[in-house]
Structure 1
Amino acid sequence: MSPRPRDPGSKDLAGLNLYRKLDKRNGVTYYQYRDPVSGRCFGMGTDKEAAIREAVAANHALNAAPVSLAQRITEQPEPAGLLFSAWLVEYREIYQARELSPASVRNARMRINRLDVALGGKPIRTITTMDVAGYLAGVAKGGKGQMSRAMRSLLRDVFVEAMAVGWTDSNPVDATKAARVKIKRKRLTLDLWKATYAEAKQSWLKRAMELAVLTGQRREDVAGMLFKDVRDDHLHVIQSKTGARLRISTGLRLESTGLELGAVIKSCRDMVVSKHLIHHARTISRAKAGQSLVLDTLSKEFAAARDRAATKLGLDLGDHPPTFHEMRSLAARLHAAEGRDPQALLGHRHAKMTDLYRDARGAEWIDVA
């Protein structure tokens, strides 16, 4: 069997058993040494000159003391030889192959880079539970408990994959505890939604609020809805975060708001030709009539209308007022109150996640018969 062709970018390393690998996602070049006897690869970090020196020394040692077949068969890998940073190079490819949403991949890439900076210089087999716990505790400081939980989840998966291919024999993350998170953002009540809706100055904001509270979809999915997605009396939505494929009947109605999906979609049609349900009605600066809304614009204008509504209602929303995303929770609660199961509407695989959205966090009165 002919050998695998060498990467053209590694021709200057020919004969050294040294290979370079460019991580296109962060632009960093990593070096690996491949033992010509055992076929094992060793991460050499990002310093080219140091990698060449180490490779030359390793090749000299191999040539000076040939290894017998018996030694090759019985030789055990050196546990401390595989750097965590070298494994993260492999893990990035594993994660990329999962075909997740671009947003999920982008977030994971940033978090993997953080792990590389914090623990990359350690041999993977020497990373202990104390190392992991200390790192997670540092992340959790300053009210970043949610980030610490996300990093723990990712780090655990990193080690699960490493164990699957023999880079390590244990997962030091399992014995750690996830950081406690106190959710601070207030829920959006129906009264505040109605008051905010009344304060919305733009027609596109009213339509966006109607679609959000009716369908329970995320901000980016509401902004991305197209007229061509309405067919066979259903609105078709492919959620950008999870890839869940939903067919929402245009006959869906929410009695508490007096809204019906088909009528809301029809009201999205105006004098401007556009493929987007939510679009600019007129040209303003760089935004042309018919173009879709920038997500930040949706959030800012919703927040401005919400604050005006809160002032009129005499409400103190505190430091963490409800955002546009909170209409997803409100939709779950309103549909549940009218006898519909919101799990399918929200696109959740597990009812436990839906229950989190149905939790009003004390923002609403509980009726006791």
Structure 2
Amino acid sequence: MAPRPRNPGSKDLPPNLYRKTDKRNGVTYYTYRDPVSNRMFGLGSDKAKAISEAVTANMALQQALPTLASKISPEPTVKDRTFPEWVDEYRQVLADRELSASTMRTNHYMLIRLVAAFDDRGMRSITTMDIADFLSGFVKAGKSQMAKGMRSLLRDIFMEAMARGWVDSNPVEATRAARVKVKRQRLTLELWKATYEEAKHPWLKRAMELAILTGQRREDILSFVFKDEVDGFLQVVQAKTGARLRISTSVTLECLGLNLGEVIRRCRDRVISKTLIHHHRTVARAKAGTPLKPDTVSKEFAAARDRAAAKLNLDLGDSPPSFHEQRSLAARLHEEEGRDAQRLLGHRTAKMTDMYLDSRGSAWIDVA
């Protein structure tokens, strides 16, 4: 019987050698299929080496066809290196990707948990069931978002291990990602205005104004310095993604009567400071002019929000909108006034921006 025609993408390879590409990160790796046992062997991402290995294997098969005795005898044992050993190698893979500091910190802590969970298990011995049981523990604890993040990291760990020949398959692929139900409520314009009125500190009002006008994250807003204003633009380098934005200081939200240039000018007061958002007076260890800590801003925002909700007789439930929710509200308000929310937020994909534009049922729908 004639052999099955080769896939067009593998015609430049010797028989039984196959090329595969991970669509997620673009890594290309090679696998060899033993035509006798149908076992697959990972050969890493080096094409020349993989071809050499495949040619040698094919010649060996031609010289000595397997006998019945060889088929019955057990397969040779392949050394199975441990999960912690591979994690040490994987950390270098992450370092080569030049990820942001916050992403590296998150991955670091997640890897510590994974090493503790799988201990000295061999890479090849870890099964899909092992992965599923590990992830289900987070889901049962109500941490679906953590389960989703762990699955994504584990999938990448084993994909890179396949490319290096440590494993022949990825046990994470067959698992299902946890369904994450977003619980945090969206911030409405009405509640934002009421919270703004309840803000006791001038720096909180300025931080809220900058958040709603620029749509940037809390850490980026608190790191704004006056020299970031250049030639009529506020220059922003996002700490999380590295995105570089230039926001015109003429940007105005008509619904609030706020202009970015005017807000920046209001940030200049009698206190000398490099940052736009700073302490206006010395309190305990915090000296006047020094930057605010993110947790301090979030705490004061939450207190003002709760006072506002009480006056509006609103039930915010167990997951009230946080300071970060101003990013979503900013996207929706700027979109309504004709601006490109994706460019403002610095997102690479429209899909991510759509998540921020989703009001999650908090907005009224006008019917003509």
TM-score (norm 1): 0.78
Q: 2:219 matched to which residue of 1?
A: 220
Matched, 1:248 2:252: no
Q: 2:37 matched to which residue of 1?
A: none
TM-score (norm 2): 0.78
> Contact 1:80–1:125 (CA<8 Å) still a contact in 2?
no
Deviation at 1:139, TM superposition (A): 1.7
Q: 1:151 matched to which residue of 2?
A: 150
How far apart are the structure 2 equivalents of 1:268 and 1:77?
A: 72
**Kindly tell me: are residues 216 and 78 of structure 1, through their superposed partners in 2, closer, same or farther at Cα, counting changes over 3 Å?**
farther
Matched, 1:102 2:101: yes
User: CA offsets, 1:94-123, max 9 Å, x none?
Assistant: 112222221111110000111111113211
How far apart are the structure 2 equivalents of 1:124 and 1:156?
A: 13
The residue type equivalent to 2:148 in the other structure is R
**Kindly tell me: are residues 305 and 80 of structure 1, through their superposed partners in 2, closer, same or farther at Cα, counting changes over 3 Å?**
same
Deviation at 1:306, TM superposition (A): 0.3
Moved more, 207-216 or 160-169: 160-169
SS where residue 172 of structure 1 aligns?
Answer: coil
Deviation at 1:78, TM superposition (A): 4.8
> Contact 1:223–1:278 (CA<8 Å) still a contact in 2?
yes
How far apart are the structure 2 equivalents of 1:81 and 1:200?
A: 60
How far apart are the structure 2 equivalents of 1:215 and 1:78?
A: 59
How far apart are the structure 1 equivalents of 2:231 and 2:173?
A: 48
Deviation at 1:77, TM superposition (A): 8.9
How far apart are the structure 2 equivalents of 1:147 and 1:346?
A: 24
SS where residue 148 of structure 1 aligns?
Answer: helix
User: CA offsets, 1:180-223, max 9 Å, x none?
Assistant: 11111100000000000000011100000000011110010011
The residue type equivalent to 2:246 in the other structure is R
User: CA offsets, 1:28-65, max 9 Å, x none?
Assistant: xxxxxxxxxxxxxxxxxxxxxxxxxxxxxxxxxxxxxx
**Kindly tell me: are residues 254 and 83 of structure 1, through their superposed partners in 2, closer, same or farther at Cα, counting changes over 3 Å?**
same
> Contact 1:238–1:244 (CA<8 Å) still a contact in 2?
yes
Moved more, 145-154 or 174-183: 174-183
> Contact 1:80–1:126 (CA<8 Å) still a contact in 2?
no
The residue type equivalent to 2:157 in the other structure is V
**Kindly tell me: are residues 80 and 137 of structure 1, through their superposed partners in 2, closer, same or farther at Cα, counting changes over 3 Å?**
farther
Q: 2:167 matched to which residue of 1?
A: 168
Q: 1:292 matched to which residue of 2?
A: 291
SS where residue 291 of structure 2 aligns?
Answer: coil
Matched, 1:355 2:354: yes
Deviation at 1:295, TM superposition (A): 0.5
Q: 2:41 matched to which residue of 1?
A: none
SS where residue 236 of structure 2 aligns?
Answer: strand
> Contact 1:332–1:358 (CA<8 Å) still a contact in 2?
yes
Equivalent residues in 2 for 1:114-129 (5 A)? Answer: 114-129=113-128
How far apart are the structure 1 equivalents of 2:217 and 2:78?
A: 46
Q: Percent identity?
A: 63
Instruction: Provide the aligned C-alpha RMSD in A.
Output: 1.5
How far apart are the structure 2 equivalents of 1:79 and 1:354?
A: 47
> Contact 1:132–1:172 (CA<8 Å) still a contact in 2?
yes
How far apart are the structure 2 equivalents of 1:282 and 1:341?
A: 38
5+ residue gaps, structure 1, are 1-69
Q: 1:62 matched to which residue of 2?
A: none
The residue type equivalent to 1:144 in the other structure is K
Deviation at 1:80, TM superposition (A): 4.6
User: CA offsets, 1:13-33, max 9 Å, x none?
Assistant: xxxxxxxxxxxxxxxxxxxxx
The residue type equivalent to 2:101 in the other structure is P
> Contact 1:188–1:330 (CA<8 Å) still a contact in 2?
yes
How far apart are the structure 2 equivalents of 1:361 and 1:334?
A: 15
Q: 1:137 matched to which residue of 2?
A: 136
The residue type equivalent to 1:218 in the other structure is R
How far apart are the structure 1 equivalents of 2:365 and 2:76?
A: 62
Q: How many residue pairs end up in the alignment?
A: 296
Moved over 6 A (4+): none
SS where residue 316 of structure 2 aligns?
Answer: coil
How far apart are the structure 1 equivalents of 2:297 and 2:340?
A: 28
The residue type equivalent to 1:325 in the other structure is H
How far apart are the structure 2 equivalents of 1:80 and 1:351?
A: 46
5+ residue gaps, structure 2, are 1-55, 61-74
